[in-house]
Amino acid sequence: MNFPLLSAIVLVPALAALAVAVLPRSRDDVVRVVGVVATLAVLALTVVLVVEFDTADAGFQFVSRHRWINDFGIDWALGVDGISLWLVALTAVLFPIALLGAGPTRDVKSFTAWILVLEAACLGSFLALDLFLFFVCFEIVLVPMYFLIAGWGYENRVYAALKFFIYTLAGSAFLLVGMLSLVFLHRAATGDLTFDLATLGESTAIAASTGRWLFLAFTIAFAVKVPLFPLHTWLPDAHTEAPTAGSVILAGVMLKLGTYGILRFSVFLFPKAAVDLAPLLLTLAVIGMVYGAIVATMQADLKRLVAYSSVAHLGFIVLGTFAFTSQGMTGGVVQMVNHGLSTGALFLLVGMIYQRRHTRQIAELGGLQKPAPVLAAVFLVVMLSSIGVPALNGFVGEFLVLAGTFVTHRWWAVVGVSAVILAALYLLWAYQRVFHGEPEGDNATMRDMDWREGLVMAPLLVLIVGLGVYPKPMLDRIEPSVARLVQHVQDRGDLKTPTVEAPQPDPAPGAEP
Amino acid sequence: MLDAAVLIPALPLTGFVILVVLGRRLGDPVAGWVATAAVGGSFLATLATWQGLLEREGEHRSVTTTLFSWIPSLNVDVAILVDPLSITMALFVTGVGTLIHLYAIGYMRGDRRFPTFFVYLNLFVLAMLTLVLADSYLVMFVGWEGVGACSYLLISFWFERNSAAVAGKKAFVTNRIGDAGLLLAMFLLFGGVGSLTYGEVFSRAGGLTTTTATAVVLLLLVGACGKSAQLPLFVWLPDAMEGPTPVSALIHAATMVTAGVYLMARSSPLLELAPDAMTVIAIVGVATAFFAATVACAQDDIKRVLAYSTISQLGFMFLAIGTGAYVAALFHMITHAFFKALLFLGAGSVIHGLHHEQDMKRMGGLRRLMPITGATFIIGWLAIAGVPPFAGFWSKDEILLAAWNKSPVLWAVGLVTAVMTAYYMSRQVYLVFFGDRRRAGVDEAHAGDDDDAHDEAHDVHESPATMWVPLVVLAGLSMVAGVMNLPFSHRFLVLERWLEPALAPHEAAHTATGTKIGLAIVPAVLVVLAILFARRWITRPSGDGLEPAFLRRAWGIDALYAAVIDSPGRAFAAWSAFVVDRRVIDGAVNGVGAAVREGGGRLRAVQTGYVRNYALGISFGVVALLGWMLFRAGP
Per-residue model confidence as pLDDT tens digits over B388-410: 889 989 999 989 999 998 889 99
Nearest to B124 by CA among B95, B96, B149, B107: B149
**How confident is the model at residue B621, as a pLDDT?**
87
CA quadruple B484, B490, B491, B493: dihedral, nearest 10: 10
| CB atoms B72 and A472 under 8 Å | yes
Beta bridge partners of B301: B359
Angle CA A185–A188–A193, to nearest 5: 85
- Which A-chain residues 4-63 have CB contacts (< 8 A) with chain B? none
Residue B355, Ramachandran bin (φ over 0: left; ψ between -120 and 50: alpha; else beta) = left
Mapping DSSP onto H, E and C, the string for A332-354 reads HHHHHHHHHHHHHHHHHHHHHHH
- For residue B583, give the amino acid letter: R
Containing A64, the helix (H) or strand (E) segment is strand A61-69
- The whole-angstrom separation of Cα A477 and Cα A54 is 8
Per-residue model confidence as pLDDT tens digits over B218-233: 999 999 999 999 989 9
Distance between start and end Cα atoms, chain A: 45
Backbone dihedral angles phi then psi of residue A76, each to the nearest 5 degrees: -85, 90
Containing B139, the helix (H) or strand (E) segment is helix B137-155
Beta bridge partners of B244: none
- The whole-angstrom separation of Cα B475 and Cα B317 is 21
**How confident is the model at residue B445, as a pLDDT?**
39
- The whole-angstrom separation of Cα A95 and Cα B520 is 71
Sequence-ordered alpha helix ranges (H) in A392-506: 393-408, 410-435, 451-469, 472-493
Per-residue model confidence as pLDDT tens digits over B163-184: 999 999 999 999 999 999 999 9
Burial code (b: 16+ CB inside 10 Å, e: under 16) for B590-626 equals eeeeeeeeeeeeeeeeeeeeeeeeeeeeeeeeeeeee
**How confident is the model at residue B455, as a pLDDT?**
46
Containing A77, the helix (H) or strand (E) segment is strand A74-80
Residue A421 with chain B: CB contacts under 8 Å:
173, 176-177, 179-180
Per-residue model confidence as pLDDT tens digits over B31-54: 999 999 999 999 999 999 999 888
**How confident is the model at residue B459, as a pLDDT?**
67
Distance between start and end Cα atoms, chain B: 107
Per-residue model confidence as pLDDT tens digits over A259-291: 999 999 999 999 999 999 999 999 999 999 999
A261 in helix, strand or coil? helix
Residue B73 with chain A: CB contacts under 8 Å:
326-327, 330, 400, 475, 479, 502
Sign of CA pseudo-dihedral A240, A242, A245, A248:
negative
| CB atoms A436 and B165 under 8 Å | yes
Beta bridge partners of A80: A61
**How confident is the model at residue B320, as a pLDDT?**
94
CA quadruple B114, B116, B117, B123: dihedral, nearest 10: 150
ipTM: 0.90
Whether the CB of A508 is below 8 Å from some CB of chain B: the reply is yes
| CB atoms B183 and A399 under 8 Å | yes
Q: What is the mean pLDDT of residues B86-107?
A: 93
Average pLDDT, chain B: 87
Whether the CB of B21 is below 8 Å from some CB of chain A: the reply is no
Residue A504 with chain B: CB contacts under 8 Å:
194
Burial code (b: 16+ CB inside 10 Å, e: under 16) for A54-79 equals eeeebebbbebeeebeeeebbbbbbb
- For residue A37, give the amino acid letter: V
Residue B447: band (very low, low, confident or very high) from pLDDT cuts 50, 70, 90: very low
**How confident is the model at residue B588, as a pLDDT?**
86
- The whole-angstrom separation of Cα B362 and Cα B431 is 8
- The whole-angstrom separation of Cα B279 and Cα B285 is 10
Q: Say if strands B76-82 and B63-71 run parallel, antiparallel, or are unpaired.
A: antiparallel
- Which B-chain residues 152-191 have CB contacts (< 8 A) with chain A? 152-153, 156, 159-160, 162, 164-166, 168-169, 172-173, 176-177, 179-180, 183-184, 186-188, 190-191
Strands (DSSP E) found in A163-275 = none
- Which B-chain residues 544-603 have CB contacts (< 8 A) with chain A? 572-574, 576-578, 581, 585-586, 589, 593
A294, A403, A424 member nearest B573 (Cβ): A294
**How confident is the model at residue A498, as a pLDDT?**
53
Q: How close A274 gets to chain B, by Cα (Å)? A: 23
Residue of A nearest to B183 (CA): A417
- Which B-chain residues 362-421 have CB contacts (< 8 A) with chain A? none
- The whole-angstrom separation of Cα B228 and Cα B230 is 6
Residue of A nearest to B186 (CA): A403
**How confident is the model at residue B283, as a pLDDT?**
95
pLDDT along chain A (513 residues), means of 10: 84 93 87 92 94 89 88 90 94 94 86 94 94 93 92 89 90 92 90 88 83 93 91 90 92 94 93 92 94 92 93 94 93 95 94 91 91 94 93 93 92 92 92 92 89 92 94 92 91 66 43 37
| CB atoms B576 and A370 under 8 Å | no
Residue B177 with chain A: CB contacts under 8 Å:
421
- The whole-angstrom separation of Cα A339 and Cα A252 is 7
- For residue B476, give the amino acid letter: G
Per-residue model confidence as pLDDT tens digits over B302-359: 999 999 999 999 999 999 999 999 999 999 999 999 999 999 999 999 988 888 888 8
Residues 6+ away with beta carbon under 8 Å from B298 = B546, B547, B548, B551, B552
B69 in helix, strand or coil? strand
- The whole-angstrom separation of Cα B171 and Cα B507 is 37
**How confident is the model at residue B542, as a pLDDT?**
64
Average pLDDT, chain A: 90
- Which A-chain residues 368-427 have CB contacts (< 8 A) with chain B? 369-370, 373, 380, 384, 389-391, 395-396, 399-400, 402-403, 406-407, 413-414, 417-418, 420-421, 424-425
**How confident is the model at residue A103, as a pLDDT?**
81
Lowest mean pLDDT among A492-496, B54-58, B162-166, B256-260: A492-496
Rg, Å, chain A Cα set? 22
Q: How close B473 gets to chain A, by Cα (Å)? A: 35
Residue B166 with chain A: CB contacts under 8 Å:
432
Angle CA A7–A12–A16, to nearest 5: 150
| CB atoms A475 and B72 under 8 Å | yes
